[in-house]
Structure 1
Amino acid sequence: MKKLLLLGVGLLTLIACDKKETPEGSLHLTGNIKGLSQGKLYIQKIKDTSFVILDSILFKGDSHFESTIKLKSPEVLFLFLNRGQTNSIDNNLSFFAEPGEMNIETNLKEFYASAKITGSKNHELLTEFNTFKTKFNEKNLELIEKRIKTGEKLTQETTDSINNEYQKLLTRKYRYTANFAATHGDYEVAPYLALSEIGDINIAFLDTITKKMSPKIAKSKYGRLLRKHIKERKKNEK
């Protein structure tokens, strides 16, 4: 009986030792790029308008990858794939990273379009927002095509009509984004969208978004940047 007990304790110890826990304030990223046999993957972030490499992973036969990166606050990171001899414009993939466990599954043929990203609530919300943004971009393209097709027959009346449609579309985008950010003040995606999508909106809307942010989000990277942005705008608009 004692031997069995010792054996059980020993097995539990081995399991505990084998299981790797993600260090606090770090992102443990795993993934698979199906079809990739060779190449190099760069994990990057933006710092002072420039890309900074956080880690690089070399592929030699195995398409799986793994990396642990220091990440105290959720932020948007980027995967850049160097395919070696294969050239492609589909080499960049952005994702809203969070400390903890995240996984990215994609393939070589459709690196961006086929990506399935799990482990981040902020990324889920960003994906939801991007669904609306895609519809906005499609409608905007329709207006551009309408202007092009009219060509030399473009009258002032038609021009005014297209411009009015665009302004209505833009107003809808700004209102939707502001409401989306204010509604999700418990997540870092709120100040991120306020900065990246509607930084020039009426300052009152930005103030509303900051008031809706939780104390934790207000202290996050994007929360601090948003408050700094508002402060600078108010100073310049006096």
Structure 2
Amino acid sequence: MRKSIVLVLSTLFLFSCAEKKSDKNFVLTGNIKGLKEGKLYIQRMKDTTLVAIDSIIISGDSNFKSEFDIQSPEMLYLFLDRGVSNSLDNNIPFFAEQGKMNIETSLDFFTADAKITGSKNHELYEEYKKVMSKFIDKDLELIQKKVMAYKENKTDEIAKIEEEQARILKRKYLYSTNFAVNNGDHEVSPYVALAEIYDINLKYLDTIHKTMTPKVAKSLYGKKLTEYYNERKKSEK
């Protein structure tokens, strides 16, 4: 009988611990292959500066876990403190939303190897970045050609390159606008509008603003977009 009581109490204790672990509405887990010792920071953008909202000590085990509350889907950053190293490969952006997310990567290629799951907003943002990277690569090619054309004083070629750059920029803005409009039911929509095409023509910003669902309009970036749109509308009257 006594053994049964102990077993019941132990089971209740375990359930109690499990309940405590689920207090937070956001759980981030992950693994950094090759990392034995170090420190990770979860950061968010405040004004124009990244500030830490949680820190994780890595000591022997490359797996990590962080739990906290988020009020709204938000772009956060996983920062690896490399100590004396000046590597630029130390910050992974991820579009956090309530629930569970996972980041798998490596120490050697911290940013490039990152595989992020558990967020629909992040999934959509990854799709957006893939298309945008093609525009960026093409623009870099044109910049190289333009430098050579300047060296060789080829005025006509420079003019053609600049026309092509203008067309690429227009396509980037058009794609970004269509992406934001087509995903108005996700918080990534106002985020892209604010982060990528904030200086777009007001009529396109108006279209993006109107396509946000009520839920998205009440989100962090939805509110920021509404505020920004109203300011633009007022200043451009």
Give yes or no for TM over 0.5: yes
Taking only aligned residues, the RMSD between alpha carbons, in angstroms, comes to 2.3
Look up the match of 1:207.
206
Look up the match of 1:92.
91
Report sequence identity in percent: 50
Any unmatched runs of 5+ in structure 1?
1-5
Look up the match of 1:216.
215
Contact 1:185 1:214 in 2 (8 A): yes
Hey, what's the Cα distance between the residues in 2 that align with 1:10 and 1:59? 34
Look up the match of 1:173.
172
Contact 2:150 2:158 in 1 (8 A): no
Hey, what's the Cα distance between the residues in 1 that align with 2:16 and 2:135? 50
1:88-127 superposed matches below 5 A: 88-127=87-126
Post-superposition shift, 1:149? 1.8
* Secondary structure at the counterpart of residue 123 of structure 1: helix
Hey, what's the Cα distance between the residues in 2 that align with 1:48 and 1:87? 24
Hey, what's the Cα distance between the residues in 2 that align with 1:7 and 1:56? 37
Post-superposition shift, 1:10? 7.9
Name the amino acid aligned to 1:35: G
Any unmatched runs of 5+ in structure 2?
none
Deviations 1:138-171 (A, max 9, x none): 0000110101122332333222211110111011
Hey, what's the Cα distance between the residues in 2 that align with 1:9 and 1:23? 23
Post-superposition shift, 1:113? 0.7
Deviations 1:178-220 (A, max 9, x none): 0011001110000000011111111111111111111000010
Hey, what's the Cα distance between the residues in 1 that align with 2:59 and 2:85? 15
Hey, what's the Cα distance between the residues in 2 that align with 1:86 and 1:159? 40
Hey, what's the Cα distance between the residues in 2 that align with 1:194 and 1:127? 15
Post-superposition shift, 1:60? 1.1
Compute the TM-score of the two structures, normalised by the length of structure 1. 0.90
Compute the TM-score of the two structures, normalised by the length of structure 2. 0.91
Between 218-227 and 85-94, report the one with greater CA deviation: 85-94
Look up the match of 1:147.
146
Hey, what's the Cα distance between the residues in 1 that align with 2:7 and 2:192? 51
